[in-house]
């Protein structure tokens, strides 16, 4: 038996009223266990694609499959359940709730997973330990550095044990040292089996990852895996 790809976009397009084609016709397959970078200039459609991969947004054309399920065929509640079970998100500006401590912020990652509150907090403490912040559990976001906030956000993303972690410029608001720690954590997560997709502006970060998908004007212009150039449409090595 073969496992369905974690994500499969087929000719996915996204346009907005006024003729903005954020995404033109993107086909991308992400297999279980991959660690990939999505790179490209600002406005090239990276976040639009990530939101579509994460089922936060729907394409106007084309199809999206998550773990083999065509998301257009799922009801909103099934889609939420699929997202809660399979996907974790990390954003540039952390998106933590102010005034709630780190444990509560991480526990919120289990809100839609049907886990009772007490167990949510216990699992949140374990997730904080994985990002080496067990000693900061009772601190609120304003008592944490940028790098620590992002580690809390990573803990919130991983507490539900997702197969896929989607990170949109996770180091974009951090200094080099904190960004390095965040990337190290993403590598560790990947080594333990989570598929990880990272949007980054930073070519050095992109070059440190085994697969790089490059965007321009809403399209994939190159897709390089372990040194081999892949055809952006077929995902196979070009001839
Ligand atoms: N909600 C929206 N309404 C209209 N245009 C949008 C919307 N979201 C994104 N866009 C446009 O789509 C294009 C791609 O945006 P985005 O995916 O955010 O790019 P990136 O993440 O690569 O910077 C940009 O031209 C942006 O202005
Ligand atoms: Mg963006």
Is there a domain that residue 203 lies in? Answer: yes
Task: Report the separation in Å between the CA atom of 57 and the middle of ligand 1, taken as the mean of its atom positions.
Answer: 12
Helices H / strands E in the chain, number of each: 7, 11
Is there a domain that residue 162 lies in? Answer: yes
Ligand 1 atom closest to the CA of 218, numbered from 1: 14
Can you say whether the dihedral through the CA atoms of 58, 221, 230, 11 is positive or negative?
Answer: positive
Ligand 1 atom closest to the CA of 18, numbered from 1: 4
Total domain count for the chain?
1
pLDDT in tens, the chain (239 residues): 568 999 999 999 999 999 899 999 999 999 999 999 999 999 999 999 999 999 999 999 999 999 999 999 999 999 998 998 899 999 999 999 999 999 999 999 998 888 999 999 999 999 999 999 999 999 999 999 999 999 999 999 999 999 999 999 999 999 999 999 999 999 999 999 999 999 998 889 999 999 999 999 999 999 998 755 666 666 666 54
For 107, counting Cβ atoms within 10 Å of its Cβ (0-12 exposed, 13-18 middle, 19+ buried), the class is: buried
Domain containing 209 equals: 7-230
Residues contacting 12, CB < 8 A, separation 6+: 23, 25, 26, 27, 28, 49, 52, 59, 61, 62, 63, 64
Ligand 1 atom closest to the CA of 40, numbered from 1: 22
Protein residues with C-beta less than 5 angstroms from the ion ligand 2: 47
Phi, psi of 13 (to 5 degrees): -130, 150
Residue 112 has, within 13 A of its CA and on its CB side, a CA count of 16
Is there a domain that residue 171 lies in? Answer: yes
The whole-number pLDDT of residue 227 equals 59
Is there a domain that residue 2 lies in? Answer: no
Task: Report the separation in Å between the CA atom of 217 and the middle of ligand 1, taken as the mean of its atom positions.
Answer: 10
Record the tokens describing residue 113, joined without a space.
Answer: 């997973």
Is there a domain that residue 239 lies in? Answer: no
SS3 81: helix
The whole-number pLDDT of residue 239 equals 43
- List C-alpha distances in Å: 207 to 171, 184, 204, 230, 236: 15, 14, 5, 16, 20
Task: Report the separation in Å between the CA atom of 41 and the middle of ligand 2, taken as the mean of its atom positions.
Answer: 9
Is there a domain that residue 177 lies in? Answer: yes
Is there a domain that residue 137 lies in? Answer: yes
Is there a domain that residue 127 lies in? Answer: yes
Q: Residue 162 is part of a domain; what is its CATH number?
A: 3.40.50.300
User: Beta strand 35-39 with 195-199: parallel, antiparallel or unpaired?
Assistant: parallel
């Amino acid at each position: 038996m073969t496992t369905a790809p974690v994500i499969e976009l087929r000719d996915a397009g996204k346009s907005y009223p006024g003729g903005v084609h954020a995404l033109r016709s993107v086909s991308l397959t992400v297999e279980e266990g991959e660690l990939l970078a999505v790179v490209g200039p600002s406005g090239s459609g990276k976040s639009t694609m990530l939101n579509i991969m994460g089922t936060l947004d729907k394409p106007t054309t084309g199809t999206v499959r998550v773990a083999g399920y065509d998301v257009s065929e799922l009801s909103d509640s099934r889609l939420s359940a699929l997202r809660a079970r399979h996907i974790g998100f990390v954003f540039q500006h952390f998106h933590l709730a102010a005034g709630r401590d780190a444990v509560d912020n991480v526990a919120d990652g289990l809100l839609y997973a049907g886990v009772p509150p007490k167990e949510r907090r216990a699992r949140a403490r374990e997730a904080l330990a994985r990002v080496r912040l067990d000693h900061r559990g009772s601190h609120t976001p304003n008592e944490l550095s940028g790098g620590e906030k992002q580690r809390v956000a990573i803990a919130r993303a991983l507490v539900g044990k997702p197969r896929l972690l989607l990170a949109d410029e996770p180091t974009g608001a951090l200094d080099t040292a904190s960004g390095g720690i965040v990337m190290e954590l993403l590598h560790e997560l990947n080594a333990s089996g989570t598929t990880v997709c990272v949007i980054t502006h930073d070519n050095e970060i992109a070059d440190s990852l085994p697969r790089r998908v490059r965007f321009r004007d809403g399209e994939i212009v190159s897709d390089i895996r372990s040194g081999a150039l892949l055809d952006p449409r077929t995902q196979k090595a070009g001839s």
